[in-house]
Amino acid sequence: MMSLLESVQNFTFLYPLAMAFVWILGGILYYRRREHILAGPHTDPQLSSTPSVSVLVPCYNEEALVAETINELMKLQYPNLEIIAINDGSRDRTGERLEALRVEHPSLRVVHLAENRGKALALRTGALAARSEFLVCMDGDAILDPHSIHWLMREFLLRGNVGAVTGNPRIRNRATLLGRLQVGEFSSIVGLIKRAQMVYGRVFTVSGVICAFRKRALADIGYWDPVQQTEDIDVTWALQTNGWRIRYAPNALCWILMPETLGGLWKQRLRWAVGGAQVFYKYAPRMLRPAALPMWGILADYILSVIWALSFGLLVSLWTLQICTGPEIDFGLPGPLPTLAGLLLTVVFLLQSVVSLTIDRRIERSIMQHYVWLIWYPLAYWMLNAATSCVGFVKVTFGAKRRSGTWISPDRGVGS
Amino acid sequence: MKPTDRPLILTAETEHLPIWVRVRDLILTVLLWLSCGKMWLELFPEIRSWNAAKASEELTYELPTILVLLKHGVLLIGGLLVTYFFWGLYTFRSVNRDLDLPVPPHLPPEEEARAYGIKPEEIPALRELASVTVLAGKDGQIVSWQPGFAPKQKE
């Protein structure tokens, strides 16, 4: 029993340590081989042609923020562009607001869904209305950088087997500690992992808030699956297991609003965890197909991350039990306060953050100032992510493997 | 409705966050850095004692816990990094080979129409409209569509 617990303890220490070094190496390799040769994100790359692009903006109860999103879209510099807002049966005045915006901007097209069907079906219907072969999908409360479409299209035009391109989400709301912490997180975790996964050759997920698709590829996989909580993770796995490639465009920036309360953050991360677990159960049986073999690395990383979350949860429970029961029952585990192993992990995480923020300075010169807040990450976020992973995985394992993706009105920061 | 001329980056100043919240966040963060720093310093005495024990050939002295853990992990991490590095080089090469691949043909409207359960001739008509209301089934099939916005009746 003790040796088993010792193994669990060693695993909870070694897994994040090993992966941190993989992400650091991957981030550096990607930067050296692919990223540092790119011009800055606020310039347009040279494109061999500018094929027509449709931007799809699914909205549900977005009357407060949709005008900001659409007005900013009208400033996009891509020459051959169509903008389609999809009102997914909103219960507020989003429909009326979009109609008013259509009068203001005659190039805007609006698709109203008579019934609320969730983001996946809103995107699917938008794809039908779109005249272009290339679709850029974003959220109704996000802002696209004026040059982002150029950078997304660059990846499609370079390689014929690219089915999707994921952009680089950047946090707008930096008022509170949670907001500023997420600025660092999106750079030092999300951005670095994406770069490292590109070096591996497959990604776990595109960013649903900014990604572009080739319609041909979407048709091959039957478009977005409406019974997945996170349509972006599902479509990523569907494309890659059907022979399509996904590319990352770090210069395709999209400015997003993130939760700035613990409750909002919990709901968001739990939805991501549930989505990840649903995708695992859907795709695990298909992993023996030849086209799916390269996904094994991503699958193994996901499985290990879930085992890590469960192990971490077990250890925390035992520590709590030990404290409650007193010295009569001894599990032989160290106390709940950070041990030397925990401190070493923190040091490695801070090293990882230095690497990722240094890479990210190409995008945002002042990003280093967020380093100071990242000290919270190992303490607060690892626990939050471990908890949501455990709850999400258990929920899907013992609940519905397929459940319709529904819109949840998110917390969008203190000012929203 | 929110004003549409908000700055791109929303800071504590632009969001009028109370000064006490900002000071609290700063103080807590400084305290966390200091307490982590203090605990990191605890590493050194343990390593110093181990070095001293090794120097005096006191072989019974146990390795510091962190080194025991790392001893098992170094081989694993090293192996993982070497494998990942060479796999990464292989990926870069295959991605470079992809540059020669031809661009796939566009999706034909007939295939799209089939996927949505509508007639192919409906697609150009639907795409001409600046505003359209669509009734879609739960499976994504189009049940009906009509030009313009048909607001839902309030229940």
Q: Per-residue pLDDT tens for A310-350? A: 999 888 888 888 888 777 777 676 655 556 778 888 889 99
Q: Which residues 57-96 of chain B have a CB within 8 Å of chain A?
A: 64-66, 69-70, 72-73, 76-77, 80-81, 84-85, 87-88, 91-92, 94-95
What DSSP character marks residue A191?
I
- The predicted-structure confidence for A3-46, as pLDDT tens digits, reads as follows 788 788 888 888 999 999 999 999 999 999 999 999 999 999 99
B-chain residues within 8 Å CB-CB of A344? 43, 66, 70
A78 neighbors A212 (Cβ within 8 angstroms) = no
Percentages (nearest 5) of helix, strand, coil residues in chain A: 55, 15, 30
| Confidence at residue A79, expressed as pLDDT on a 0 to 100 scale | 93
Contact A159 B99 (CB under 8 A): yes
Contact A22 B138 (CB under 8 A): no
Please report, as a single letter, which amino acid is at residue B106.
Answer: H
Nearest to A378 by CA among A336, A346, A348, A353: A346
Q: Which residues 296-355 of chain A have a CB within 8 Å of chain B?
A: 297, 338-341, 343-344, 346-347
Q: How far apart are CA A375 and CA B25, in angstroms?
A: 12
A31 neighbors A195 (Cβ within 8 angstroms) = yes
Model pTM score? 0.91
Helices (H) and strands (E) in chain A, counts: 14, 9
B68 neighbors A178 (Cβ within 8 angstroms) = no
- The predicted-structure confidence for B52-62, as pLDDT tens digits, reads as follows 777 777 666 66
Mean pLDDT of chain A: 91
By the CB < 8 Å criterion, does A291 face chain B?
no
For residue B126, the chain A residue with the least C-alpha distance is A129
Q: How far apart are CA A144 and CA A50, in angstroms?
A: 18
Please report, as a single letter, which amino acid is at residue A387.
Answer: A
Structure-model confidence comparison of residues A62 and B40, the more confident one: A62
A-chain residues within 8 Å CB-CB of B102? 160
H-only helix segments in B4-64: 19-41, 43-55
Contact B84 A216 (CB under 8 A): no
Element (H, E) at A347: helix A340-360
Architecture of domain A39-285: Alpha-Beta Complex (3.90)
All CATH 3.90.550.10 domain ranges of chain A, comma separated, are 39-285
**Residue to substitute from A3, A112, A260, interface B, most B β-carbons within 10 A:** A112
| Confidence at residue B2, expressed as pLDDT on a 0 to 100 scale | 47
Exposure b/e, A62-87, CB count within 10 A at least 16 = b = bbbbbbbbbebbeebebeebbbbbbb
Mean pLDDT of chain B: 85
The backbone torsions φ and ψ at residue A181, rounded to the nearest 5 degrees and listed phi first, read: -65, -40
Label residue A395 exposed, middle or buried (CB < 10 Å: 0-12, 13-18, 19+): middle
CA A3 to chain centroid, in Å, comes to: 37
By the CB < 8 Å criterion, does A17 face chain B?
yes
- Most confident range, picked from A334-343, A397-406, B90-99: B90-99
The distance of B143 to chain A (nearest Cα, Å) reads 10
A-chain residues within 8 Å CB-CB of B111? 219
CB-closest option in B4, B64, B77 to A17? B77
Q: Do β-strands B142-147 and A245-256 pair in parallel, antiparallel, or remain unpaired?
A: unpaired
**Residue to substitute from B8, B9, B32, B43, interface A, most A β-carbons within 10 A:** B9
Q: How far apart are CA A201 and CA A246, in angstroms?
A: 8
Q: How far apart are CA A347 and CA A101, in angstroms?
A: 50
Q: How far apart are CA A51 and CA A94, in angstroms?
A: 30
Q: Which two tokens stand for residue B34?
A: 């200091």
Q: How far apart are CA A199 and CA A305, in angstroms?
A: 19
The dihedral of CA A317, A323, A328, A333: what is its sign?
positive
Helices (H) and strands (E) in chain B, counts: 5, 3
